[in-house]
Structure 1
Amino acid sequence: MTDHVYRVIEVVGSSETSIEDAIQSAVTKASATIRHIRWFEVVETRGQIEDGKVRYFQVTMKIGFSIEDEHVHLEP
């Protein structure tokens, strides 16, 4: 079994629909530019209220991805 080394970044996802959609949005967007994503952790949940109703759900997440070689390239 090989040891795994991970890098962790923090991202924020948002959705008008649900917390789950906000999570999926963040993971989908991060996956477009980061390879080998392995896990996520929601560290904060919040939302925006307009006219007494929830307008947006927002989650701050840590995303972990494995480092496969010594030349990791992160795109903004």
Structure 2
Amino acid sequence: MGSVARITQISSRSETSFEDAVRGGIEKAATTLRNISGAWVKDQKVEVTDGRITAFQVVLEVTFVLE
């Protein structure tokens, strides 16, 4: 049989950038999920305060191969 994977959805936030939010989300997910093979950025948004972007948020669908 081939491999079987599971997909889980996570949300990650950064005050720096979307890229930083994605990186932080994957790094944190990797502390509890083994065999992460990829991720899809499902959604992204910004938080705005007084007309300025104050945070970046992403929703990721993380794929990991089951053992």
What is the match of residue 37 of structure 2? 38
Q: Which has the higher contact order (CA 8 A, sep 6+)?
A: 2
What is the match of residue 61 of structure 2? 62
Query: Would you say how many aligned residue pairs link Structure 1 and Structure 2?
Result: 67
Divergent runs of 4+, >6 A: none
Q: Which has the higher strand share?
A: 2
Partner amino acid for 1:15? S
What is the match of residue 11 of structure 1? 10
What is the match of residue 20 of structure 2? 21
Deviation (angstroms), 1:47? 1.1
Partner amino acid for 2:13? S
Q: What TM-score do you get using the length of structure 2 for normalisation?
A: 0.95
Instruction: Note the aligned Cα RMSD (angstroms).
Output: 0.9
Per-residue CA deviations over 1:19-66 (Å, capped at 9, x if unaligned) read 000000100100001111110000001010011110000000100000
* Structure with larger Rg: 1
Cα distance in 2 for partners of 1:44, 1:33 equals 22
Cα distance in 2 for partners of 1:65, 1:52 equals 38
Structure 1 unaligned runs (5+)?
Answer: 69-76
